[in-house]
Amino acid sequence: MAGYYLFLQLGCAFGLLAVTAFFGFIPLWLLEFLRKKGKDQSESGWLSYLSCFSGGVFMATCFLDVIPHVSENYQKMIEDYGVEYPVPLFQVFICCGFFFVYFIEEITGLIFGAGGHGHSHGHGHSHAGPIHVDTKEEKVTKLV
């Protein structure tokens, strides 16, 4: 019987992963669709809305399902084994997970983002220098 519950939990976990991944990839699919249509991602509020929705799915999954489940099992472990830790370990690991996701986001922003260069400050000139955009091949070259 325990094998059945393990199989059920694993199936639910992978199902939840698939649903979360599906809704998480919707903004990427929308971005690709908008690029094919010739619209820039900044012109579309839908991309922002869908990104917020996928983040909300992630947060709801975490707060409404994962954290209560882990908390219940943590309390059961303390009662069954009589082990007491000075800090609640599951909450420490949850915080570490959130910070890990945050740091990954910051690192990818630094690596793949503009990094503060190539934007206009609204005072009549740009710091990017002259560029040439080849729309047929989607290449951008700097003319310096």
Q: Contact 118/126 with Cβ under 8 angstroms? A: yes
pTM: 0.46
Mean pLDDT, residues 76-95 taken together: 87
Q: Strand pairing partners for 136?
A: none
Q: Answer yes or no: is 64 within a domain.
A: yes
Q: Answer yes or no: is 119 within a domain.
A: no
DSSP 120: B
Q: Contact 131/142 with Cβ under 8 angstroms? A: yes
Q: Answer yes or no: is 76 within a domain.
A: yes
Residue 11: per-residue pLDDT: 93
The 10s digit of each residue's pLDDT in 25-39 is 887 787 777 777 765
Query: Structural domain of residue 34, as residue ranges?
Result: 16-84
Q: How many domains does the chain have?
A: 1
pLDDT surpassing 60 at residue 127: no
Token reading at 97: 């997970």
Q: Answer yes or no: is 111 within a domain.
A: no
